[in-house]
Amino acid sequence: MNAGASLPDWSLRGRRLRPVVQGGMGVGVSAHRLAGHVARHGAMGTISSVDLRQHHPDLLAQSDGVRDKATLDRLNLVALDREVRDALVLAGGSGAVAVNVMKAVNDHAAQVRQACESGAHAIVMGAGLPLDLPELAAGFPDVALVPILSEARGVSIVLRKWMRKGRVPDAMVIEHPAFAGGHLGATRLAEVHDPRFDPERVIEDVFATFRALDLERERIPLIVAGGIHSHEQVRAALALGASAVQVGTAFAVTEEGDAHPEFKRVLAEAKREDLVTFMSVAGLPARAVLTPWLRRYLGRETALQANAKADPRRCVPGLQCLTACGLRDGIAAAGQFCIATRLGHALHGDVKKGLFFRGSEPLPFGSAIRPVADLLRYLLTGIAAV
């Protein structure tokens, strides 16, 4: 891809990459088709490891009505293996194929190992501090480890913990919760817009942390995420000292995105006033489109939280669970719904029942659905013509 020659490549475990990373989006929104095509164009594509069975009818059939956790976990690992291998074929040796694993998923350790065994070039982990990621990826020294963090304090904790194990991250995603979609890197709704998350401040503080730990600034590339939707923003992030940017929603609505066309339409047509930030079942703030289901839920949220109680029977058979779930565990401050069910409905384009995660900012091409190549060309060069 010749476009964007003026923006420098960056290096991840010896792989030269264009400075745009496609963010991981579950359930099934970023699977092998999207990640493989992004990598094919020289960038890093990312598969979300959460419940990839949604793309495999045979595995869904085997999961139907199953409550046995070991069986469900095994079937999801089969799906993950298929998706990684298919993405690598699509990539054709270009770019990098990463797997995003949520720390908050109870099977995250097995998912990390499976992604490594299947040939993923990198493991990206967020939704909690990935303090044990070096151990989980032990035995795969060529796989890059990339934590997602939102502030310098978390960066310092991860670095100090990992350095005691003789490892540092191969890169770090710095995500601003005020603009990102899905689960956000803040602990409370009131913190989402806190100035401590501003990229200029975080990057400066992270470089100060590097100096305090005698780490060379260039040793750990920083990837700025949250709200990136223009070529000018990419340039601005690199000027701050970042090596790349991460983009989610704009990739989700590309022609190669793995979700249903109706999913793409909902995200592409949503305006800022159509979005809402609320507490998810994982106990983290989240941002999504205010669909009919979410509107109904938020109207009942206070009453549901007031009557929260631990009851594993609330779990839907055939679905994987989070390590901590507001509904199952009766956590009153968290969401009171089955997130796996709602994200599955969204993947398949069901506006009445689905939960549609989305970033807060406008999309580069408005409501138009364009190829991955067009999006990368625009972000790298500013050229938006068809």
pLDDT of res. 33: 98
Choice among 4-8, 136-140, 145-149, 250-254 with the minimum mean pLDDT? 4-8
pLDDT of res. 283: 83
Q: Which of 14, 5, 55, 8 minimizes the C-alpha distance to 35?
A: 55
Q: Which residues contact 304 (CB under 8 A, 6 or more apart)?
A: 336
* pLDDT greater than 50 at residue 2: no
Q: Residue 3 — pLDDT band, cuts 50, 70, 90?
A: very low
pLDDT of res. 246: 97
pLDDT tens, residue by residue, 134-190:
999 999 999 999 999 999 999 999 999 999 999 999 999 999 988 888 888 888 888
Q: Which residues contact 239 (CB under 8 A, 6 or more apart)?
A: none
pLDDT tens, residue by residue, 319-360:
667 778 888 888 898 899 888 899 999 999 999 999 999 999
Question: pTM for this structure?
Answer: 0.93
Q: Does domain 10-266+362-381 have CATH number 3.40.50.150?
A: no
Q: How far apart are CA 378 and CA 278, in angstroms?
A: 32
* pLDDT greater than 60 at residue 247: yes
Which DSSP letter does residue 189 get?
G
Domain ranges within the chain, ordered by starting residue: 10-266+362-381, 271-347
pLDDT of res. 323: 78
Question: Taking CA 47 as the corner, what is the angle to CA 362 and CA 278, rounded to the nearest 5 degrees?
Answer: 50
C-beta neighbour count of 182 within 10 angstroms: 26
pLDDT tens, residue by residue, 28-82:
999 999 999 999 999 999 999 999 999 999 999 998 877 788 888 899 999 999 9
Whole-number average pLDDT of the chain: 92
C-beta neighbour count of 268 within 10 angstroms: 19
Distance of CA 64 to the CA centre of its chain: 27
pLDDT of res. 317: 66
* pLDDT greater than 50 at residue 266: yes
Mean pLDDT of 259-268: 97
pLDDT of res. 320: 67
Which DSSP letter does residue 310 get?
B
The CA distances from residue 313 to 67, 309, 328, 330, in Å, are: 10, 11, 8, 12
* pLDDT greater than 60 at residue 1: no
Choose between 192 and 369: higher pLDDT: 369
Q: Residue 95 — pLDDT band, cuts 50, 70, 90?
A: very high
Mean pLDDT of 99-125: 94
**Beta-strand runs (E) in 239-372:** 244-247, 275-279, 285-289
